[in-house]
């Protein structure tokens, strides 16, 4: 029996187009309308409480209702609610945040360019790389390498970089000149008997073969997340970046570090790059930069690229790129405050203190009959559901086992996200031990419900 829709749900369905949603099912399922949040908890308009197991969308690192963040937003709105960065104008929050990002950067950085989102940051990365190579007299060096299962956003170029079929199908993507090399997921793509070290060596050889086939003089950059977030929380094997970086360097191919999900403490270090042996040339940031209290993204640019941008500006007369809301003073003020809080409250230390508990509770799920693999980096984890543990055989995607498991989780008071049949976890970094245990208790209950449903519907039949 279908539950009647509330007035708000009906209004939502009549007015709002929901991203990343099964549009054909929403009217029967009914949208969940959230009303308020506090700490790691979020509440819907019908009074139900949930542990926010995804920090919103990998971003609300400080949880909901942080009073210091609210006060910083109020103060900035009262002094200067908006101004832009065009024509050499600026604001103090934008300056202060850029200075702090340069100080924290894992590699030397010259300048910070502001955007409104991670997608815009990654779009900008490609424009800057093209602009840079034109400035260097290399007009053919324009191809970009990404990876299968990568996620870099949904604007036209960012979606082209993304290596997920649903982001391409019937959107006429990806664009020409975007190459997708292997996904570094040993569990899913390693061959029988292949060690992780052998797997890494094979992926490095495959990348080298792609570069030789395409011509290194035609490839400008490779973009990579240290841990692949929306592709299924895919943690690279040890030594992966150390193996591919010399190949890129040999062909003068820049390495773009997409820290949009990984950055600002999520992996237990300031940067995912530091946790996974990555030494990038440029960096994209967003999400936890403001703990998602306001939209903000940025691109962190090295000296050699900045020199080329200045030279081209002199040649052309202007640097013709920018966003109306790039460097918005509200977002920058909240970025300054968030970074201050991360340091003053030792959020990184808190994350590190919780990692053993997080890993232990994840490991306990590995024996569940539905679970093929668990994986994690810091306070970011994935639980991959399979039809057959012995053979790693996945469920038919049409069965939407992951989506149904996320519905069971919501029924138990947990918000998680199904990425295909991988259940992703990324709680606010301020989560406490008892709350983390409650999160996993609720996830276990949802997995048990899903297992009972799979058996009842005979979904394991090959």
The 3-class secondary structure across the chain, one letter per residue, is CCCCCCHHHHHHHHHCCCCCCCCCCHHHHCCCCEEEEEECEEEECCCCEEEECCHHHHCCCCCECCHHHHHHHHHHHHHCCCCCCHHHCCCHHHHHHHHHHHHHCCCCCCEEEEECCHHHHHHHHHHHHHHHHHHCCCCCCCEEEEECCCCCCCCHHHHHHCCCHHHCCCCCCCCCCEEEECCCCHHHHCCCCCCHHHHHHHHHHHHHHHHHHHCHHHEEEEEECCCECCCCCECCCCCHHHHHHHHHHHCCCEEEEECCCCCCCCCCCCCHHHHCCCCCCEEEECHHHCCCCCCCEEEEECHHHHHHHHHHHHHHCCCCCCCCCCCCHHHHHHHHHHHHHHHHCCHHHHHHHHHHHHHHHHHHHCCCCCEEEEEECCCCEEEEECCECCCCECCCHHHCHHHHHHHHHHHCCEECEEECCEEEECCCCCCCHHHHHHHHHHHHHHHHHHHHHHHHHCCCCC
pLDDT of residue 63: 98
| pLDDT value at 452 more than 70 | yes
pLDDT of residue 25: 84
pLDDT of residue 4: 85
Quick: pLDDT tens for 105-135.
999 999 999 999 999 999 999 999 999 999 9
Quick: pLDDT tens for 240-299.
999 999 999 999 999 999 999 999 999 999 999 999 999 999 999 999 999 999 999 999
Mean pLDDT computed over 357-364:
98
| pLDDT value at 71 more than 70 | yes
| Share of residues in the chain with pLDDT > 90 (%) | 95
| pLDDT value at 100 more than 50 | yes
pLDDT of residue 1: 44
| pLDDT value at 2 more than 80 | no
| pLDDT value at 143 more than 70 | yes
Mean pLDDT computed over 170-184:
96
Mean pLDDT computed over 428-442:
98
pLDDT of residue 75: 98
| pLDDT value at 402 more than 90 | yes
pLDDT of residue 262: 98
| pLDDT value at 326 more than 80 | yes
pTM of the model: 0.96
| pLDDT value at 316 more than 90 | yes
Band (pLDDT 50/70/90 cuts) for residue 462 is low
Mean pLDDT computed over 158-183:
95
| pLDDT value at 3 more than 80 | no
pLDDT of residue 28: 83
Mean pLDDT computed over 187-194:
97
Domains of the chain: 32-65+346-457 (3.90.1150.10), 68-344 (3.40.640.10)
| Mean model confidence pLDDT for the chain | 96
Quick: pLDDT tens for 328-348.
999 999 999 999 999 999 999
């Amino acid at each position: 029996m279908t539950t009647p829709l509330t007035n708000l749900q009906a209004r939502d369905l009549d007015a709002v187009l929901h991203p990343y949603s099964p549009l054909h099912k929403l009217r029967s399922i009914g949208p969940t309308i959230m009303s308020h949040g506090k700490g790691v908890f979020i509440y819907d308009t019908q009074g139900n409480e949930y542990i926010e197991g995804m920090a919103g969308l990998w971003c609300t690192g400080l949880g909901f209702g942080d009073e210091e963040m609210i006060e910083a937003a109020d103060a900035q709105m009262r002094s200067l609610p908006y101004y832009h960065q065009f024509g050499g104008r600026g604001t103090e929050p934008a300056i202060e945040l850029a200075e702090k990002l340069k100080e924290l950067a894992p590699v030397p950085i010259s300048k910070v360019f502001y955007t409104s989102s991670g997608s815009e940051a990654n779009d900008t990365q490609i424009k800057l790389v093209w602009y840079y190579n034109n400035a260097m007299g290399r007009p053919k060096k324009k191809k970009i390498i990404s990876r299968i299962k990568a996620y870099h956003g949904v604007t036209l170029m960012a979606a082209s970089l993304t290596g997920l079929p649903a982001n391409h199908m019937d959107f006429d993507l990806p664009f020409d000149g975007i190459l997708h090399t292997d996904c570094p997921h040993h569990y899913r793509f390693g061959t029988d008997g292949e060690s992780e070290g052998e797997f890494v060596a094979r992926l490095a050889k495959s990348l080298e073969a792609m570069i030789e086939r395409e011509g290194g003089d035609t490839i400008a950059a490779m973009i990579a997340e240290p841990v692949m977030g929306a592709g299924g929380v895919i943690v690279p094997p040890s030594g992966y970046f150390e193996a591919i970086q010399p190949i890129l360097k040999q062909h003068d191919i820049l390495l773009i570090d997409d820290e949009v999900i990984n950055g600002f403490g999520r992996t237990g270090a300031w940067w995912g790059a530091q946790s996974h042996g990555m030494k990038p040339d440029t960096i994209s940031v967003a999400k936890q930069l403001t703990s998602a209290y306001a939209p903000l993204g940025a691109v962190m640019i090295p000296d050699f690229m900045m020199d080329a941008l200045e030279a081209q500006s002199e040649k052309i007369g202007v640097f013709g790129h920018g966003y109306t809301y790039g460097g918005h003073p509200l977002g920058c003020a909240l970025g300054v405050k968030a970074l201050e809080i991360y340091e003053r409250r030792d959020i990184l230390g808190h994350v590190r203190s919780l990692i053993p508990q997080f890993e232990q509770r994840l490991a306990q799920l590995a024996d569940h009959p539905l679970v093929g693999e668990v994986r994690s980096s810091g306070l970011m984890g994935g639980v991959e559901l399979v039809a057959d543990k012995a053979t790693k055989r996945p469920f038919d995607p049409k069965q939407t086992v992951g989506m149904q498991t996320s519905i069971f989780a919501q029924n138990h008071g947990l918000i998680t996200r199904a990425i295909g049949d991988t259940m992703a976890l990324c709680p606010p970094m301020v989560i406490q031990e008892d709350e983390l245990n409650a999160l996993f208790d609720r996830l276990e209950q949802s997995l048990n419900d899903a297992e009972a449903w799979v058996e009842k519907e005979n979904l394991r039949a090959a």
